Amino acid sequence: MTIKLFGVTKDIIGSPSLSLPTNVLTGKSSPKTVGELRQFLGKTYPGLKELSSLAIAVNNSYAQDAEEINSYDEIALIPPVSGG
């Protein structure tokens, strides 16, 4: 599963993208939904949990937490940015 990172998520995770071999995500099974992915990433990278708002897109569409995901989906983490 490839996760593209934007804004401050790049800084929190320390790279422009994240590639997760799905079988090691949780030890047993990979996250089945956007919400599970959010939880998993929050545990691994606590900085992400502190963001008040973090949009997650699946295949270039904004996704709600209940949305199902598969290993071949293209995910993006999109935080708000404020600079101008």
Partner 1 sequence: MTSTNRYLRQTSLVSFGEEGQAKLADSQVLVVGLGGLGLPVIQYLNAMGVGTIGLVDHDTIELHNLQRQVLYTEADLGRPKLEVAIEQLQAQNSNTKIIGHDTFLNSQNALEIIKNYEVVVDATDNFATRYLINDACILLNKPFVYGALHDFEGQVSVFNYQNGPSYRCLFPKMPGPNEIPNCDVNGVLGVLPGIIGTMQALETIKVLTGVGEVLSGKLLLFDGLQQQTQTISFEAQADQKNITQLQASYESQDCLMEFGVSAETFLSNAERENMQLIDVRNSNEFEHDHLARAINIPLSQLADHELSIRDERPVYLICQSGQRSALALRLLTAKYPTLKIYHILGGMNKLAALCP
68 binds partner 1 (CB under 8 A): no
Nearer to partner 1, 26 or 59 (CB): 59
| x-marked contacts with partner 1 along 38-67 as a string, rule CB under 8 A | ------------xxxx-x-x--xxx-----
Least Å distance, CB 20 to partner 1, is 20
2 binds partner 1 (CB under 8 A): no
Rounded to the nearest 5 degrees, what angle is found at the Cα of 77, between the Cα atoms of 76 and 82? 125
Rounded to whole angstroms, how far apart are CA atoms 13 and 11? Answer: 6
Q: Residue written as tokens 């599963």?
A: 1
Rounded to whole angstroms, how far apart are CA atoms 44 and 63? Answer: 21
